[in-house]
Amino acid sequence: MIRPYMGLMPKVPSSCYVDVSAQVIGDVVLGEHASIWMNTVVRGDVHYIHIGRNTNIQDNSVLHGMLGKWPVVLGDDVTVGHTATLHGCVIEDRCLIGMGVIILNGARVGHDSIIAAGTLIPEGTVVEPGSLWMGAPGKFRRKLTEEEKASILTYRTNYLGYKENYLRELGQ
């Protein structure tokens, strides 16, 4: 469901897919070809949420900001795995956020990074570009290889295909 809050309606280009079971509320802007999957909540009620082009937010994820302080900003070509929680954080371009990841207020994930499944990124953490982080709390493990950085776009490409299939099913 796409719905307004306090007079602000989400901006969703026609190239996007938002599943009927998802909740996209208030001050939310989706970039071209973004996709929001089953039972995901993108709650732009207390601060804005910007999701870049070709970015996918997978099933049961939650995006929410902190009142007056921390928005949620995702760059282009980001994949957010199932059941991730992104709260008041910035994710730069071409990142893979694994399943079950939690990223908290004021954290910033640099471009071309992977946050491994189940990782907790504490408040205010800065993940340098091109990094692999794992654990709870998350810790830097190593720099990604060029091949690993390129592999991040595989997930983006897969989800662009899924998006097109779902839009076709809906006759769009």
The pTM of this model reads 0.96
CB 63 within 8 A of CB 57: yes
pLDDT tens track, the chain, 172 positions: 999 999 999 999 999 999 999 999 999 999 999 999 999 999 999 999 999 999 999 999 999 999 999 999 999 999 999 999 999 999 999 999 999 999 999 999 999 999 999 999 999 999 999 999 999 999 999 999 999 999 999 999 999 999 999 999 988 7
CB 163 within 8 A of CB 56: yes
Topology at the third CATH level for domain 2-169: UDP N-Acetylglucosamine Acyltransferase; domain 1 (2.160.10)
First to last CA, the chain: 17
Q: 153 — phi, psi (to 5°)?
A: -70, -15
Q: Is residue 81 packed enough to be buried (19+ CB in 10 Å), middle (13-18) or exposed (0-12)?
A: buried
CB 23 within 8 A of CB 40: yes
- What's the rounded Cα separation, in Å, for the pair 142 and 58? 26
